[in-house]
Amino acid sequence: MRRAQANNIGYPVCCGVIVLACAAAGLAQPRVSSPDGHLTIAFDAAGGRLTYRVTRDGKPVIAPSRLGLVIQGGEALGSQVSITGATTGSHEGSYPVIHGKSNPVENDFNEVRVQVAESEGRRRRMTIEARAYDEGVAFRYVVPAQPGIPDPTGFRLREEITEFRIAKDSIAYPLYLRSFQTSYEDEYHREAITGIAPDHLIAMPLLIDVAGAGWVAITEAHLEEYAGAYLKHAGGLTLRVELSSVGGPPVEHGLPHRSPWRVIMVHPEAGRLIESNMIINLNPPPDGDFSWVKPGKSVWDWWFGKVKTEEGWETGMDTRTFKYLIDFAAESGIDYVLVDDGWSKRQDILHPKPGVDVPEIIRYGKSKGVGVWLWVHWTGVDRQMDEAFPLYEKWGAVGVKVDFMDRDDQWMVNWYHKVVKKAAEHHLMVDFHGAYKPAGLRRTYPNLMTREGVMGLEYTKWSRRVGPEHNVTLPFTRMLAGPLDFTPGAFGNVTPAEFKPRFDDPIVVGTRAHQLAMYVVYESPFACVVDHPSAYRRAPEFQFIKDVPVTWDETRVLDAAVADYIVIARRKGREWYVGAMTDWTPRTLEIPLSFLPAGPFTAEIYRDAGDAAEHPGKVTVEKRQVSSASTLTLKLAPGGGAAIRIAPAN
């Protein structure tokens, strides 16, 4: 474990937080640096205007940028202020997780708390809390109870004046959204900061290539009792926070109150951002006992729709289909089956429709060692949660997939918290679809396994919008916020010329090895196996999907170029899994296995066949002996990939 430094003051550090009081007179520009000393965030109130700036190795990343809150009934808190004091501290330690990209999770940071007060008028006060990690910095506003904010509701926020003035014109990878009522499902773009139109609403995380300083990602963490945040271009090189609202003040709450963390991840290598655990580190620890939570893969009926089974009958929303899927899951060692939309009315999630005997499906699954998840529409959950969740627990269901929220105003953010908490009371895991981006809630409630908030593979059922370029962009953008339920595993692989969207038994562009690699590249502790059993049963490469874990002890990005290709290695116990994906450009990648410990290993390699460009469904499977001295040469077809399992030779 690294040893954190208390801002180079020289105080000893142990597991826990050390707070060091500092005289305000010596902190006209309070600052804090990362444990490794590379990153610094500093604050200033010159001329009464509160600002911050971020540097890496002395080079500007975020130029001086405004901070402030516009509270109803007054001017911006942050426009006529002075810094009245600051305290610093640091933390070194780690904690275990039930699921994630590494276990245990290191949580080393230095911090500063900056006290700010208005110089005249009502003399309102607030504190800016900031933390510096090796891979980024974060800050948030804390507003205490005070006479200067007498509104009976306490904190009624009209606007947050948080700006990010990028140090130089840079290339960004924005996801544009039509409004605050959105499912975050669209393509990512590539353009200069100065080229972003001021009316574009930009989703977080936003990845930016700041030449000479590093890769920067802007997002938020610990979103609670607050509205979700977006970005807008405010002119020049400045981006500004926009808070989700459905009318009225975006945030209303009693005092004291705190904002979510505004997160700025920074590193010269984009892959290091993927390895980061900053988002969950900025959230509170688990609220209760979650030892019952079990990550796993799931067979899913909705994606493949109506197909003929090997016995000649057609699948549908009925008991027979789900018993058939349970049999397949049991024979394949897959943990779960997901019963999706159609088993009940959307507004009545207590009573199954005729032909779908949910209690019998769950009973049958238990007899085969397979758990059953249930899809539910959010409006039904909102109406019947207090009855439905105890009923599902009584039936023996293990989880709920909650869909179509498509909002992140304060009410809806609070509703997410309410759902995961109530689900935990009844030992139900949760998968949010039609969802906003993650902000680390899964640390506090580990029964929250994954969420959508992404244009996933389902779009191939009705469009050609999802393909290899989109697929290799996601790890550097949406996945920085947390797990994504992309739903990989399609074995109907075709060339672009052969592709036609179809709702039942859909097909996808890109190679089958590309689909296999997604199980390593994409983080999700509840991973769907989307295709129908007959697509898998005679395919030797299905073995990789059966073997690959869904939660990890260690993650390393071995090679990557944003939106072009990626190679990730993840460890579970003594085994390593490697996933490689490319866009439409064929590539030959040399992958040193120096991350392996000493000793002989066996590598099972699933890679594009030599003619995969013309026949994307073809996969070559081979085994070879390897060691830490070995280098694997991976030839990836256009839209191709490779998936590798590396286990001790014995």
Contact criterion met (CB below 8 Å) for 407 and 436 = yes
Tokens 């000649």 locate to: 312
What average pLDDT does range 92-113 have in this prediction? 98
Q: How far is CA 558 from CA 9, 53, 89, 595, 637, in A?
A: 35, 31, 34, 9, 19
Contact criterion met (CB below 8 Å) for 275 and 236 = no
Task: Looking at 152-301, list the stretches that DSSP marks H as alpha helix, in order from N- to C-terminal side.
Answer: 270-275, 278-281
pLDDT in tens, 239-268: 999 999 988 899 999 999 999 999 999 999
Q: What is the pLDDT of residue 13?
A: 31
**Distance (Å, whole) CA 243 – CA 86:** 28
Asked whether the bond before 144 is cis by omega within 30 degrees of 0, the reply is no
90: left (phi over 0), alpha (psi -120 to 50) or beta: beta
The burial of 550, by beta-carbon neighbours within 10 Å (0-12 exposed, 13-18 middle, 19 or more buried), is given as buried
Residue 573 is classified by DSSP as T
Here the tokens at position 80 are 């006529």
Per-residue pLDDT for 408 more than 90?
yes
What pTM, to 2 d.p., does this model score?
A: 0.95
Non-local (6+) Cβ contacts of 526 within 8 A are 295, 296, 297, 298, 336, 399, 429, 431, 449, 450, 485, 550
Q: What is the pLDDT of residue 404?
A: 98
Closest CA to 556 of 152, 269, 144: 269
- Helical (H) or strand (E) element with 621: strand 619-626
Residue 235 is classified by DSSP as S
CA 94, chain centre distance (Å): 20
Amino acid identity, position 363: R
Per-residue pLDDT for 281 more than 80?
yes
**Distance (Å, whole) CA 59 – CA 342:** 55
**Distance (Å, whole) CA 499 – CA 200:** 32
With vertex at residue 66, the alpha carbon angle to CA 63 and CA 71, rounded to the nearest 5 degrees, is 165
User: Any idea which of 76-80, 95-99, 359-363 has the lowest mean pLDDT?
Assistant: 76-80
Closest CA to 470 of 566, 557, 606, 404: 566
Here the tokens at position 193 are 């900061």
Contact criterion met (CB below 8 Å) for 160 and 72 = no
Per-residue pLDDT for 560 more than 50?
yes
**Distance (Å, whole) CA 231 – CA 174:** 10
| Confidence category of residue 434, pLDDT binned at 50, 70, 90 | very high
| Confidence category of residue 101, pLDDT binned at 50, 70, 90 | very high
Torsion over CA: 464, 471, 622, 585 (sign): positive
Q: How far is CA 518 from CA 239, 282, 457, 474, 513, in A?
A: 32, 27, 11, 11, 9
- Helical (H) or strand (E) element with 419: helix 410-425
What mean pLDDT is reported for the chain? 94
**Distance (Å, whole) CA 128 – CA 141:** 5
Instruction: Quickly count: other Cβ atoms within 10 Å of residue 308's Cβ.
Output: 12
Residue 623 is classified by DSSP as E
Beta-strand runs (E) in 5-135: 16-22, 31-33, 39-44, 51-56, 59-66, 69-71, 76-77, 81-92, 94-95, 105-106, 109-118, 125-133
Tokens 């009209």 locate to: 158
**Distance (Å, whole) CA 574 – CA 595:** 12
Contact criterion met (CB below 8 Å) for 239 and 216 = no
Phi, psi angles (nearest 5°) of residue 221: -140, 155
3-state percent breakdown (helix, strand, coil) of the chain, nearest 5: 20, 35, 45
| Domains defined along the chain, listed by start | 16-281 (2.70.98.10), 294-453 (3.20.20.70), 455-521+551-650 (3.20.20.70)
Per-residue pLDDT for 3 more than 90?
no
What DSSP letter does each residue of 463-527 carry, written as one string?
Answer: -S--SHHHHHHGGGTGGGGS----------EE-GGG----SSS--EES-HHHHHHHHHHS--SEE
Q: b/e per residue, 414-436, with b = 16+ CB within 10 A? A: ebbbebbebbbebbbbbbbbbbb
Residue 188 is classified by DSSP as B
Closest CA to 339 of 313, 321, 354: 321
| Pairing of β 641-648 and β 575-582 | antiparallel
Q: What is the pLDDT of residue 248?
A: 87
Per-residue pLDDT for 73 more than 90?
no
What average pLDDT does range 488-513 have in this prediction? 98
The burial of 384, by beta-carbon neighbours within 10 Å (0-12 exposed, 13-18 middle, 19 or more buried), is given as middle
Asked whether the bond before 483 is cis by omega within 30 degrees of 0, the reply is no
Here the tokens at position 505 are 């038994």
Size of the chain, expressed as the number of residues it contains: 650
- Helical (H) or strand (E) element with 384: helix 378-395
pLDDT in tens, 139-185: 999 999 999 887 666 789 999 999 999 999 999 999 999 999 999 99
Residue 313 is classified by DSSP as P
Q: What is the CA radius of gyration of the chain?
A: 25
3-class DSSP state of 588: strand
Q: What is the pLDDT of residue 153?
A: 66
Tokens 């509701």 locate to: 153
What average pLDDT does range 569-579 have in this prediction? 98
3-class DSSP state of 535: helix
pLDDT in tens, 451-482: 999 999 999 999 999 999 999 999 999 999 99
Contact criterion met (CB below 8 Å) for 237 and 165 = yes
Q: What is the pLDDT of residue 542?
A: 98
Quote the percentage of the chain above a pLDDT of 70. Answer: 95
Phi, psi angles (nearest 5°) of residue 33: -115, 155
3-class DSSP state of 4: coil
Torsion over CA: 375, 377, 381, 384 (sign): negative
What average pLDDT does range 429-440 have in this prediction? 98
